[in-house]
């Protein structure tokens, strides 16, 4: 008895509490937390090298937040900190906190699998599984123990990703047989299958042609009604067009090669009346 | 002034007048010819194998006592009494191969998955040399091990009256250990060829390490693994010394792995170890069997290479 | 983390999945451990077989052979010779003289003959190392009881003498010198054949060959040959080197051997057979080494107007040398351990003289192991275990030198 309890405590992120108590508590804290995600003094290290320094920024619910900046300043690293994907590379660690609905994601009792179940990701280069279109979407749901109607779920995700009409007759075909733009939308549908609350997008359209890019941007506007979106992009026009809030990242100084957020504001402010001169230089195209 | 002089000394040196016409370089051509010959020697080897083995094998089949039909239907191989059924040798070979693969495939895959998806770099660096050592031990040593350790072990576990002193089970089990490193290294190559972005996508949806490894990475590497298994089978079929020492002498048609039996390779070794006169029926039978062995392993190897090539194409 | 409000359809079951993951992780680690255990068991098994107690019974008590009070072990060569002469038939003594004149034999050799022919220890029973260490008293008791006239001795089959003594049919005096020399001679011819041809072929394929169907065929052919079972090479060697080229391999062409006893089953034939076997290994490894030489080096050489061969000889080869040598050592390791092809080619079963020319009959270390393992008596199995230890030591040093070589050469560049 004692050993099983001890083992369970090792495996369980937090002990299972009474459901109703949890529900009540969640509703309460959702009202209290303004922000879906928030970083507090976040620093990210690869071994001894500090890639990101001291970031304090919020991510607001049901809005699109863009992270922009010149290449190599740590945008992707910062994005990946939100769903603990940095941990896949050995030797990474953080200091500070990343709060999700008020809870620190990096608390030792938190399971990264659970984090990724609630904060999804779409990558730069489309990477569908070498399985059928149907399976690509179904796999994520299945490993998380989806009990409902899988066909309906697949259809729903593909509709949300604006891909359903194009593939509804080809569900059993390999995901790799689709075009680049379709593959990326498939990856978005795949992320939606586990019904995350936040979707992180790492330069989702950089590998796509302009028409496909436009489709993705339209998609984002639709998705933000139900999800919170954080997008990293080096395409300033895209950030200006598509996002509600923008965070500007830059290297703190040339020696350390460590990046930080130098300005965060409403997108319109960043692009018309930025407070920091470096931001102004960047968005007007003077460099980067 | 001095410097000027020195510079002009060098620049005033004239190259012997050279036109730009292509020069005939005899030395180069000779060397190129020699090198081409070296490359071609390997073709000679293959031609040699097919020709020599084929020639003698033909002699074998032309002998009045031998007919191909009889070979395939008779279950006794005793040349001196006119029996040339291949089945005793073939079933023994198949049994040892099967037992060996039953060990090598699950263990080999497991070790490869562990090394590729779970192990820390330090663990990998200590484990890989050990596997290389296992692969480098000569097969005669494994034969000794099969006879002096595995057989007594089996006999003490299953009983002396169940397990004979010479049996195909011990040989098969030890052969499995021999082939394990081969399967592991080829499987590991296949697993690492699966691109990192695929793993990231799977983790991103919230998969645990086990789910990612077994449900996404492993299926993606499947054809590479199939190629590894086929090579393993080819190796097992061609393996000689382990069976020569531990499996038994004298062809016997049996499906009991605890009895002695002789494989194709074991038979060839035993016959040639004794006194062999050229053009005797035993001598020619070696070539027929050798030819059979050559074609089986060649076919398996070619299939495996084709699979690997197609597999590489998907990921590159 | 807080339960997800949004969708009760998911039963995330993190605990179950993590638990599953842990179980499988243990399964995989266990499989890895099995491999390590197999290796350790193998080594222990061999060491176990190479040492142990044995009960020795002498047919003729050595004490009775003492001359003028000098015991057998301390007698001089002349004294030993007289002991020998007075105890064996004159015909046998003459045969020993004709095999190798006594004037040329060493004292140790004569002593061994005395032990072999006259004293003739019989091994009545023997035990392995583990038993010898743990059940020593029990063994002593059994020996005293069942073999009262014999002595119980702890024998290390693996000693330095073992390596220097020639083969013999008496287990106690047998050594592996004949076999080791046979292996060395064989490997010499293997390398003489395979190294130049192998490196040449590799240079051709990497530097000279254009991408046409013939060259692709050659490459595929080499890859396939690498996977052919070694016994097939033995059969090929039998047909070509032993039989078809018998005049060459037996030495008849050169007129240096006695035509009545000469046949093609010589060291030369064995070496050539193994040469064909390891040729693909050398080629493939050399190709990899040459391919690893940076293109910029070649371009620099061509830029100065060097011909292709000048570039290859002066720049590419020196740079690829460590990789080529490593491949060669790998090939040697493989060839030293090969048994089946040489059995087919016709290694001799009972020779006790050292090979002296390419046209000698031969035996090699692995074949010796094979023969001793196939004998029913326990003491020969012990000899086999000791020979395996010798073989493993040889292979270990070879591979260690390969690693050292690789490190030493790669540091330069």
In a domain, B315, yes or no: no
**Is pLDDT of C291 > 50?**
yes
Q: Do A12 and C5 touch (CB under 8 A)?
A: no
Measured between beta carbons, which residues in chain B are less than 8 angstroms from residue C4?
none
- CB distance from C6 to chain A under 8 Å? yes
Q: Do A187 and B201 touch (CB under 8 A)?
A: yes
**B83: which residues sit within 8 A by CB, 6+ positions away?**
B74, B76, B77
Q: CA-nearest residue of chain A to C16?
A: A11
Q: What is the pLDDT of residue B178?
A: 93
Q: Percent of chain B having pLDDT more than 90?
A: 34
Please answer whether residues C215 and C209 qualify as being in contact, where contact means their C-beta atoms are separated by less than 8 angstroms: yes
The closest CB to that of A13, out of C13, C14, C22, belongs to: C14
pLDDT digits 0-9 by tens, B67-111: 777 767 777 777 666 677 788 888 899 999 999 999 999 999 999
- CB distance from C214 to chain A under 8 Å? no
In a domain, B20, yes or no: no
- The chain-wide mean pLDDT, for chain A, equals 84
- Taking the CA of residue C36 and the nearest CA in chain B, the distance in Å comes to 7
Cβ neighbour number for residue A280 with a 10 Å cutoff: 17
> What residue ranges define each of the domains in chain C, with the CATH number in brackets?
52-173 (no CATH), 177-412 (1.10.3720.10)
Under the banding of pLDDT at 50, 70 and 90, the label for residue A77 is very high
For C17, the token pair is: 């999945």
SS3 C153: strand
**Is pLDDT of C86 > 90?**
no
Measured between beta carbons, which residues in chain B are less than 8 angstroms from residue C283?
42
- CB distance from A226 to chain C under 8 Å? no
- CB distance from A121 to chain B under 8 Å? yes
Q: What is the pLDDT of residue C328?
A: 92
Measured between beta carbons, which residues in chain B are less than 8 angstroms from residue A117?
206
**Is pLDDT of A1 > 50?**
no
**Is pLDDT of C348 > 80?**
no
Lowest mean per-residue pLDDT among A240-249, C122-131, C133-142, C258-267? C258-267
Q: Do A190 and B201 touch (CB under 8 A)?
A: yes
In a domain, B153, yes or no: yes
The closest CB to that of A145, out of C2, C3, C11, belongs to: C11
pLDDT digits 0-9 by tens, B186-232: 999 899 889 989 999 999 998 888 899 999 999 999 988 999 999 99
Q: CA-nearest residue of chain C to A108?
A: C1
In a domain, B159, yes or no: yes
The closest CB to that of C370, out of B140, B238, B294, belongs to: B140
Q: What is the pLDDT of residue C411?
A: 55
**C170: which residues sit within 8 A by CB, 6+ positions away?**
C115, C116, C120, C121
Under the banding of pLDDT at 50, 70 and 90, the label for residue B14 is low
Q: CA-nearest residue of chain B to C12?
A: B206
- Taking the CA of residue A141 and the nearest CA in chain C, the distance in Å comes to 8
Report the neighbours of A using a cutoff of 3 or more CB pairs below 8 angstroms. B, C
Q: Do C1 and A110 touch (CB under 8 A)?
A: yes
| Selection from C266, C239, C230, C251 nearest residue C347 by Cα | C266
Q: How far is CA B299 from CA B92, B294, B302, in A?
A: 20, 9, 5
> What residue ranges define each of the domains in chain A, with the CATH number in brackets?
36-283 (3.40.50.300)
pLDDT digits 0-9 by tens, C295-333: 888 888 888 888 888 888 888 888 888 889 888 998 999
Q: CA-nearest residue of chain B to C387?
A: B141
SS3 B160: coil
In a domain, B74, yes or no: no
Q: What is the pLDDT of residue B177?
A: 93
Give CA torsion, residues B151, B245, C328, B236, to 10 deg.
Answer: -70
In a domain, B276, yes or no: no
Distance between CA atoms of residues B270 and C349, nearest Å: 13
| Selection from B149, B150, B78, B99 nearest residue B256 by Cα | B99
Cβ neighbour number for residue B283 with a 10 Å cutoff: 19
- Taking the CA of residue B200 and the nearest CA in chain A, the distance in Å comes to 8
Q: Across A225-229, B79-83, C64-68, which has the greatest mean pLDDT?
A: A225-229
Q: Percent of chain A having pLDDT more than 70?
A: 88
Q: What is the CATH number of the domain that holds B247?
A: 1.10.3720.10
Average pLDDT over residues A35-40: 90
pLDDT digits 0-9 by tens, C352-382: 677 777 777 888 999 989 988 888 888 888 8
Cβ neighbour number for residue C87 with a 10 Å cutoff: 15
Measured between beta carbons, which residues in chain C are less than 8 angstroms from residue A118?
1, 4
Measured between beta carbons, which residues in chain C are less than 8 angstroms from residue A144?
10-13
Chain C contacts in chain A segment 80-109 (CB below 8 A): 100-101, 103
Residue of B194, B204, B221 best to disrupt the A interface, most CBs of A under 10 A: B204
Q: Do C13 and A145 touch (CB under 8 A)?
A: yes
**Is pLDDT of C413 > 70?**
no
**Is pLDDT of C409 > 70?**
no
Distance between CA atoms of residues C347 and C363, nearest Å: 5
**Is pLDDT of A80 > 90?**
yes
pLDDT digits 0-9 by tens, A137-189: 999 888 888 888 999 999 999 998 989 999 989 999 988 899 989 999 999 99
pLDDT digits 0-9 by tens, B259-294: 888 899 998 888 887 767 777 777 888 888 899 899
- CB distance from A118 to chain C under 8 Å? yes
- The chain-wide mean pLDDT, for chain C, equals 82
Q: What is the pLDDT of residue B225?
A: 92
In this predicted model, which residue has the larger pLDDT, B252 or C202? C202
Q: What is the pLDDT of residue C258?
A: 66
Residue in this structure with the two tokens 């040489």, named with its chain if needed:
C342
Report the neighbours of B using a cutoff of 3 or more CB pairs below 8 angstroms. A, C
Q: Do A143 and B200 touch (CB under 8 A)?
A: no
Give CA torsion, residues A17, A18, A21, A25, to 10 deg.
Answer: 30
Q: How many domains in chain B? A: 1
Q: What is the pLDDT of residue A18?
A: 36
Please answer whether residues C199 and C282 qualify as being in contact, where contact means their C-beta atoms are separated by less than 8 angstroms: yes
Average pLDDT over residues B144-170: 89
Residue in this structure with the two tokens 């070879």, named with its chain if needed:
C398
**Domain range for B131:** 93-263
In a domain, B312, yes or no: no
- CB distance from A19 to chain C under 8 Å? yes
In this predicted model, which residue has the larger pLDDT, A190 or B18? A190
In a domain, B289, yes or no: no
Q: What is the pLDDT of residue B261?
A: 87
pLDDT digits 0-9 by tens, C101-117: 777 777 777 777 777 77
- Taking the CA of residue B313 and the nearest CA in chain A, the distance in Å comes to 13
The closest CB to that of B206, out of A117, A128, A130, belongs to: A117
Report the neighbours of C using a cutoff of 3 or more CB pairs below 8 angstroms. A, B
Distance between CA atoms of residues A251 and A51, nearest Å: 9
Distance between CA atoms of residues B206 and B212, nearest Å: 9
Please answer whether residues A139 and A148 qualify as being in contact, where contact means their C-beta atoms are separated by less than 8 angstroms: no
- CB distance from C260 to chain A under 8 Å? no
Distance between CA atoms of residues B241 and B288, nearest Å: 20
CB pairs under 8 A between A and C: 65
| Selection from A217, A203, A188 nearest residue A76 by Cα | A203
The closest CB to that of A88, out of B120, B200, B216, belongs to: B200
Q: What is the pLDDT of residue B6?
A: 63
Q: CA-nearest residue of chain A to C21?
A: A11
Q: What is the pLDDT of residue A248?
A: 92
Please answer whether residues A52 and A78 qualify as being in contact, where contact means their C-beta atoms are separated by less than 8 angstroms: yes
- Give the N- to C-terminal CA distance of chain A in Å, as an integer: 62
């Amino acid at each position: 008895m004692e050993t099983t309890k001890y083992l369970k405590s090792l495996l369980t992120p937090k002990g299972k509490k009474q459901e109703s108590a949890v529900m009540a508590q969640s509703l309460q804290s959702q009202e209290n937390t303004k922000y879906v995600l928030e970083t507090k003094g976040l620093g990210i290290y690869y071994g001894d090298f500090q890639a990101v320094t001291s970031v304090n920024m919020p991510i607001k619910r049901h809005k699109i937040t863009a992270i922009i900046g010149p290449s190599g300043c740590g945008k992707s690293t910062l994005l990946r900190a939100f769903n603990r994907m940095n941990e896949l590379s050995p030797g990474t660690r953080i200091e500070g906190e990343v709060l999700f609905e008020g809870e620190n994601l990096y608390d030792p009792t938190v399971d990264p699998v659970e984090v990724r179940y609630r904060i999804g990701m779409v990558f730069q280069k489309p990477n569908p599984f070498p399985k059928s279109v149907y399976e690509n979407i179904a796999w994520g749901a299945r490993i998380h123990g989806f009990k409902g109607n899988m066909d309906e779920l697949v259809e729903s995700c593909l509709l949300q990703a604006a891909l359903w009409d194009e593939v509804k007759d080809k569900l059993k075909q390999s995901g790799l047989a689709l075009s680049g733009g379709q593959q990326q939308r498939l990856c978005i549908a795949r992320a939606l299958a586990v019904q995350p609350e936040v979707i992180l997008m790492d330069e989702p359209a950089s590998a796509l042609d302009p028409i496909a890019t436009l489709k993705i941007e339209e998609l984002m506007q639709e998705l933000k009604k139900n999800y919170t979106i954080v997008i990293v992009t080096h395409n300033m026009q895209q950030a200006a067009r598509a996002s509600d809030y923008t965070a500007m990242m830059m290297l703190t100084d040339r020696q350390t090669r460590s990046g930080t957020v130098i300005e965060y504001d409403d997108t319109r402010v960043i692009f018309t009346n930025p407070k920091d001169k470096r931001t102004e230089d960047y968005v007007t195209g003077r460099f980067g | 002034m001095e410097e000027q002089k020195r510079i002009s000394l060098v620049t005033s040196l004239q190259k012997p007048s050279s036109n730009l016409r292509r020069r005939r370089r005899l030395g180069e051509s000779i060397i190129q010819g020699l090198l081409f010959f070296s490359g071609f020697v390997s073709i000679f080897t293959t031609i040699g194998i097919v020709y020599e083995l084929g020639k003698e094998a033909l002699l074998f089949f032309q002998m009045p006592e031998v007919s191909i039909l009889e070979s395939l239907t008779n279950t006794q191989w005793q040349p001196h009494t006119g029996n040339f059924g291949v089945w005793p040798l073939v079933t023994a070979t198949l049994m040892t191969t099967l037992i060996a693969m039953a060990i090598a495939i699950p263990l080999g895959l497991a070790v490869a998955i562990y090394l590729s998806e779970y192990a820390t770099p330090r663990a990998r660096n200590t484990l890989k040399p050990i596997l290389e050592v296992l692969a480098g031990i000569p097969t005669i040593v494994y034969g000794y091990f099969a006879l002096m350790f595995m057989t007594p072990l089996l006999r003490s576990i299953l009983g002396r009256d169940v397990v004979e002193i010479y049996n195909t089970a011990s040989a098969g089990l030890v052969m499995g250990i021999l082939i394990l490193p081969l399967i592991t290294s080829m499987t590991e190559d296949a697993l690492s060829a699966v691109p990192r972005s695929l793993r990231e996508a799977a983790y991103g949806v919230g998969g645990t390490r086990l789910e990612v490894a077994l449900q996404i990475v492993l299926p993606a590497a499947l054809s590479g693994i199939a190629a590894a298994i086929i090579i393993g089978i080819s190796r097992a079929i061609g393996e000689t010394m382990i069976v020569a020492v531990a499996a038994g002498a004298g062809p016997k048609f049996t499906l009991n792995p605890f009895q002695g039996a002789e494989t194709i390779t074991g038979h060839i070794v035993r016959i040639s170890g004794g006194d062999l006169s050229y053009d005797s029926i035993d001598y020619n039978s070696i070539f027929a069997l050798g030819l059979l062995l050559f074609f089986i392993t060649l076919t398996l190897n070619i299939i495996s290479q084709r699979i690997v090539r197609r597999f590489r194409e998907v990921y590159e | 983390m807080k339960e997800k409000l949004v969708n009760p359809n998911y039963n995330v079951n993190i605990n179950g999945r993590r638990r599953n993951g842990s179980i499988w992780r243990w399964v995989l680690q266990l499989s890895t451990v099995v491999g390590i255990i197999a290796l350790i068991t193998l080594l222990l098994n061999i060491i176990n077989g190479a040492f142990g107690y044995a009960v020795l019974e002498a047919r003729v008590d050595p004490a009775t052979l003492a001359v003028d009070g000098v015991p057998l072990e301390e007698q001089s060569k002349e004294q030993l010779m007289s002991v020998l002469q007075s105890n064996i038939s004159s015909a046998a003594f003459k045969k020993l003289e004709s095999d190798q004149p006594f004037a040329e034999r060493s004292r140790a050799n004569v002593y061994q003959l005395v032990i072999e022919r006259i004293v003739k220890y019989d091994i009545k029973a023997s035990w392995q190392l583990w038993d010898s260490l743990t059940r020593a008293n029990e063994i002593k008791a059994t020996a005293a009881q069942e073999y009262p006239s014999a002595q119980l001795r702890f024998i290390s089959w693996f000693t330095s003498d073992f390596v220097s003594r020639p083969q013999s049919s008496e287990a106690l005096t047998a050594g592996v010198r004949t076999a080791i020399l046979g292996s060395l001679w064989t490997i010499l011819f293997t390398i003489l054949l395979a190294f130049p041809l192998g490196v040449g072929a590799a240079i051709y394929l990497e530097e000279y060959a254009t991408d046409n169907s013939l060259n692709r065929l050659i490459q595929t052919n080499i890859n396939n040959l690498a996977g052919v079972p070694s016994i097939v090479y033995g059969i090929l060697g039998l047909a070509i080197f032993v039989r078809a080229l018998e005049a060459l391999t037996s030495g008849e062409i050169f007129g240096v051997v006695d035509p009545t006893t000469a046949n093609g089953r010589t060291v030369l034939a064995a070496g050539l057979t193994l040469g064909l076997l390891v040729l693909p290994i050398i080629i493939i490894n050399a190709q990899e080494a040459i391919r690893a030489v940076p293109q910029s080096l070649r371009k620099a050489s061509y830029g100065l107007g060097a011909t292709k061969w000048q570039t290859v000889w002066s720049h590419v080869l020196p740079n690829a040398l460590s990789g080529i040598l490593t491949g060669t050592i790998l090939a040697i390791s493989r060839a030293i351990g090969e048994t089946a092809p040489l059995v087919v080619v016709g290694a001799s079963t009972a020779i006790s003289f050292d090979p002296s020319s390419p046209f000698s009959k031969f035996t090699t270390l692995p074949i010796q192991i094979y023969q001793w393992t196939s004998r029913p008596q326990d003491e020969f199995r012990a000899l086999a275990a000791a020979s395996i230890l010798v073989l493993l030591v040889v292979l270990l040093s070879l591979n260690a030198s390969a690693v050292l070589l690789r490190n030493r050469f790669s540091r330069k560049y």
